[in-house]
């Protein structure tokens, strides 16, 4: 396992599952930390296998567990708990996103872990704040986005709609990774460990901070405007269909609402409608007036777009200094060589799935290069961790395996 990077030399005890926690530890692994993923013997973590294909690592597991080592341990068995306690003494960080109270039930409270390793960074990710009234409530990503403001501002005026991707899960995971790094930096300066706690609801509240501007201006929550601009009624600001008019054949076009912007006039030139320029057509003179007459504005744009696919439309518009974004899906990104060339899409070789292209790490550090490795085989590092790191003999490991402890 390559451990080169800014976090090289740090060891993480990874007791996470599904998405939020695993994104956190994968981020740390990509930055060079040695991540020891603790999984149930035989079954693995809950997100490893899908019901449709038991025994085969799911693609969801592949995409969130690269560059990690896997060890199996039954933490509910006394021998398993003893192994984890020995590992805690040799780790810099423990990360968990178990259900409320689960770590306490295992006996792995922060206080106990601190007794074992006074410098441990004990990182927890939960749905709700552990010191708040919702602490024991179950939560998944859509619960966090609904209770964290985001969905109140997303969708149609009469129908809130949740986001199609797991913003709360992955976003909170990355926020927890950032906080862990900060805690490690403080430990380097001051020599102390600490507890790090990030709740998905809290993260979503912070992520939705832009919603406070209209709330403070108007004294009431922001309105939902579908693909429009929530702060102000302006046009164009919408997602428009393109040829060949499939489910993802769209481009989003937005012209600045700021006075003096030439983007609308540029757009008029591109679509061959100089008669709609600001100083020619009174109805198109301002972003607000264009909104009030958006049937004319949108109609002209749609008429032009019917002859272009989303890639061509985006290229033409952006080269004319008009903000436009093609609606790109997973297939578009995966099949575009630019993303593979710059490491945003990476190809890994999985023993069960073969060659698979997956999203990589967005930040690029000039003095670091990530060697991407596929998600680990269940228990693939048991010998290395229990034998080499903890010093267990082959006979001792065989006995633990027979007892289904590892």
Positions marked active-site:
169
CA distance 331 to 343: 16
How far out from the chain centre does Cα 296 lie?
39
Residue position matching structure tokens 């501007």: 213
> Which two tokens mark 125?
């990710």
Q: Which of 304, 339, 303, 322 minimizes the C-alpha distance to 314?
A: 322
> Which two tokens mark 249?
């054949």
Cβ 173 vs Cβ 117: under 8 Å? no
Categorise residue 325: left if φ over 0, alpha if ψ from -120 to 50, beta otherwise: beta
CA distance 141 to 146: 9
Which H or E element spans position 351?
none
Q: Following CA atoms 282, 285, 286, 287 in sequence, which dihedral angle do they give, to the nearest 10 degrees?
A: 90
C-alpha atoms less than 13 angstroms from C-alpha of 356 in its C-beta half-sphere:
21
């Amino acid at each position: 396992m390559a451990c080169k990077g800014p976090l090289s030399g740090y060891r993480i005890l990874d007791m996470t599952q599904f998405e939020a926690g695993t994104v956190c530890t994968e981020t740390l692994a990509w930055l060079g930390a040695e991540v020891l993923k603790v999984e149930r013997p035989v079954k693995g973590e809950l997100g490893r296998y899908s019901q449709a294909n038991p025994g085969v690592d799911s693609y969801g597991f592949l995409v969130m567990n690269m560059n990690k080592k896997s060890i199996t341990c039954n933490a509910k068995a006394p021998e398993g708990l003893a192994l984890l306690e020995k590992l805690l003494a040799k780790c810099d960080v423990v990360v968990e996103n178990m259900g409320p109270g689960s770590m306490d039930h295992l006996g792995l409270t922060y206080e106990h872990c601190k007794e074992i390793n006074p410098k441990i960074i004990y990182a927890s990710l939960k749905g709700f704040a552990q010191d708040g009234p919702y602490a024991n409530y179950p939560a998944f990503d859509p619960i966090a986005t609904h209770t964290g403001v985001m969905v109140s501002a997303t969708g149609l005026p009469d129908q809130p709609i949740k986001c199609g991707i797991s913003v709360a899960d992955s976003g909170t995971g990355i926020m927890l990774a950032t906080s862990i790094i900060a805690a490690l930096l403080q430990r380097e300066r001051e020599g102390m460990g600490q507890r790090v706690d990030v709740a998905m609801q809290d993260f979503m509240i912070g992520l939705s901070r832009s919603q406070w501007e209209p709330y403070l201006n108007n004294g009431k929550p922001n309105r939902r405007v579908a693909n429009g601009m929530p702060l102000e009624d302006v046009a164009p600001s919408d997602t428009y269909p393109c040829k060949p008019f499939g489910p993802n054949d769209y481009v989003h076009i937005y012209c600045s609402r700021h006075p003096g912007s030439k983007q609308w006039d540029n757009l008029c030139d591109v679509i061959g409608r100089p008669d709609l320029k600001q100083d020619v057509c009174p109805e198109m003179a301002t972003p607000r007036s264009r909104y009030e007459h958006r049937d004319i504005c949108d109609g002209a744009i749609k008429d032009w777009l019917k002859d272009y696919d989303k890639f061509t439309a985006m290229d033409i518009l952006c080269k004319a200094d008009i903000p436009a974004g093609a609606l790109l899906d997973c297939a578009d990104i995966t099949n575009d060589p630019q993303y593979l060339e710059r490491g945003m899409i990476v190809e890994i070789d999985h023993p069960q799935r073969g060659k698979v292209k997956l999203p990589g790490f967005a930040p690029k550090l000039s003095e670091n290069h990530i060697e991407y490795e596929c998600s680990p085989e269940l228990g693939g590092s048991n010998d290395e961790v229990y034998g080499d790191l903890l010093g267990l003999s082959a006979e001792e490991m065989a006995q633990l395996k027979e007892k289904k402890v590892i």
